[in-house]
């Protein structure tokens, strides 16, 4: 019989103090020396009141992504640092590595000198990358390949949000006044994203004392076969819907077109992100024989409060409805931390004292990059 897999402990690391809405441009800077015209609109819709930046107010980096991830891993072992040597697998998901090569996972391993020589894997992608990291560790334990693994999700977006990334394009951004769509295409993600890291200690046995989370299943789906690119970085979307990557631009074009800024096709996002997620959740519920009555806690990763009611309506349509009192979301206090967001929700809920043995936790993680989704069911044991 295949192994059961458990999350035994969870941790989080946030860089520096939380940043309020009023302080954001003190850290990120002003484009063309003027306050953003889209900021208040975006903040009103997303509902975020605090986020974290691995920056000081001069815009200087205070932590790398790999450093934050390693600090989250160390936090798992704060009561018994020697146990760090027992890790057999490190699985690290992110969409904002510090460099193209080496991988984010091995760079994190490099900040863990007390660990042994171990297997390291680095799932890429966007928000689903953190879930892919969990699934790799889950499958490795289930296959009896390893007994003890650490999975992580992390992001350091702030270095891509500072104003000097956009300065060469400042004149184009002045067009926001006449064409607000440009603000949302080029500027709106500056007010959405946050930095941080989180880690899970996973094994083939539940804790002797206290609660554990058994992973019952993890499923994913991509609709890239039918959908155009929606969220992207390091490229530019062409008129035919294709993506032209950074290697096909000159160094001058990379600067003047802000190729390494994060962009999103808002129309494509709003029309498709929720309906496609609902399509798969119905298939999963039918296959697993689940109903919403079987769910005690629902943890959907949402990028904005704008999507909260839309996801509620989607579940109502496809699965019968999960009442809001069963929802647990911490977007508003930590921001959208991409691949780390689902970890941060689980970490906060796991430590809240609210969980009871036998309860089931449904996870939903959408990724708008080219419309991928991850789903999982956990049982409190």
Residue 185's CATH number: 3.40.47.10
The confidence score (pLDDT) of residue 165 equals: 75
* 242 pLDDT tier (thresholds 50, 70, 90): very high
| 103 and 137 both lie in a single domain | yes
**Looking at residues 193-209, what average pLDDT do you find?**
97
| 356 and 374 both lie in a single domain | yes
Percent over 70 (pLDDT), the chain: 94
* 176 pLDDT tier (thresholds 50, 70, 90): very low
Percent over 90 (pLDDT), the chain: 76
| 170 and 220 both lie in a single domain | no
258 found inside a domain: no
State how many domains the chain has: 2
The confidence score (pLDDT) of residue 169 equals: 57
Which residue is listed with tokens 């309020």? 20
Residue range(s) defining the domain that contains residue 25: 6-214
32 found inside a domain: yes
* 156 pLDDT tier (thresholds 50, 70, 90): very high
| 166 and 303 both lie in a single domain | no
Tell me the sheet residues that pair with 267: none
| 179 and 209 both lie in a single domain | yes
Tokens standing for 67?
């450093």
The confidence score (pLDDT) of residue 20 equals: 97
The confidence score (pLDDT) of residue 260 equals: 87
| 11 and 149 both lie in a single domain | yes
pLDDT at 14 over 90: yes
| 196 and 58 both lie in a single domain | yes
| 305 and 294 both lie in a single domain | yes
How far lies 342's CA from each of 157, 299, 365, in Å?
17, 7, 7
pTM for the full predicted model: 0.94
Report how far Cα 218 is from the mean position of its chain's Cα atoms. Answer: 16
**Looking at residues 128-137, what average pLDDT do you find?**
98
pLDDT at 180 over 90: no
| 64 and 98 both lie in a single domain | yes
Strand bridging mode 196-203 / 213-222? unpaired
Closest CA to 108 of 5, 195, 199: 199
Closest CA to 280 of 128, 126, 152: 128
**Looking at residues 62-90, what average pLDDT do you find?**
97
Q: Where does a domain end: 155, 190, 214?
A: 214
**Looking at residues 123-139, what average pLDDT do you find?**
97
pLDDT at 184 over 80: no
Region for 297 from its dihedrals, namely left if φ exceeds 0, alpha if ψ lies in -120 to 50, beta otherwise: beta
| 184 and 220 both lie in a single domain | no
Measured CA to CA, the distance from residue 364 to residue 375 in angstroms comes to 5
* pLDDT tens-digit map of 293-347: 999 999 999 999 999 999 999 888 876 789 999 999 999 999 999 999 999 999 9
- Mean pLDDT value across the chain: 92
234 found inside a domain: no
| 176 and 220 both lie in a single domain | no
Measured CA to CA, the distance from residue 184 to residue 72 in angstroms comes to 32
């Amino acid at each position: 019989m295949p192994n059961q897999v458990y999350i035994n402990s969870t941790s989080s690391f946030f860089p520096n103090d939380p940043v309020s809405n009023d302080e954001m441009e003190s850290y990120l800077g002003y484009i063309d020396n003027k306050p953003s015209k889209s900021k208040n609109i975006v903040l009103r819709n997303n509902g975020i009141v605090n986020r974290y930046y691995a920056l000081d107010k001069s815009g200087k980096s205070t932590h790398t992504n790999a450093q934050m991830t390693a600090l989250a891993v160390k936090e798992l072992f704060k009561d018994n640092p020697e146990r760090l040597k027992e890790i057999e697998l490190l699985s690290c998901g992110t969409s904002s590595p510090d460099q193209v090569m080496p991988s984010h996972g091995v760079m994190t391993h490099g900040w863990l000198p007390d660990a042994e020589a171990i297997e390291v894997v680095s799932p890429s992608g966007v928000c689903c990358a953190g879930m892919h990291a969990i699934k790799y560790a889950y499958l490795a334990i289930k296959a009896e390949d390893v007994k003890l693994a650490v999975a992580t999700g992390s992001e350091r977006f702030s270095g891509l949000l500072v104003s000097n990334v956009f300065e060469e394009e400042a004149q184009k951004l002045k067009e926001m006044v006449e064409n607000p769509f440009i603000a949302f295409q080029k500027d709106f993600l500056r007010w959405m994203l946050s930095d941080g890291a989180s880690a899970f200690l996973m094994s083939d046995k539940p804790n002797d004392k206290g609660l554990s989370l058994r992973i019952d299943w993890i499923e994913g789906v991509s609709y890239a076969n039918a959908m155009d690119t929606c969220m992207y970085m390091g490229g530019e979307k062409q008129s035919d819907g294709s993506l032209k990557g950074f290697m096909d631009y000159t160094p001058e074009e990379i600067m003047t077109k802000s190729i390494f800024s994060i962009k999103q096709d808002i129309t494509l996002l709003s029309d498709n992100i929720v309906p496609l997620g609902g399509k798969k959740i119905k298939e999963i519920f039918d296959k697993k024989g689940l109903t919403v009555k079987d769910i005690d806690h629902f943890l959907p990763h949402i990028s904005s409060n704008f999507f909260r009611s839309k996801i509620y309506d989607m579940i109502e349509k496809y699965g019968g409805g999960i009442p809001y009192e069963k929802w647990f979301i911490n977007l508003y206090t930590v921001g959208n931390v991409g691949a780390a967001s689902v970890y941060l929700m689980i970490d906060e809920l796991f430590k809240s004292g609210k969980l009871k043995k036998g309860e089931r936790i449904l996870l939903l993680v959408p990724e708008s990059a080219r419309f991928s989704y991850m789903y999982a069911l956990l049982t409190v044991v």
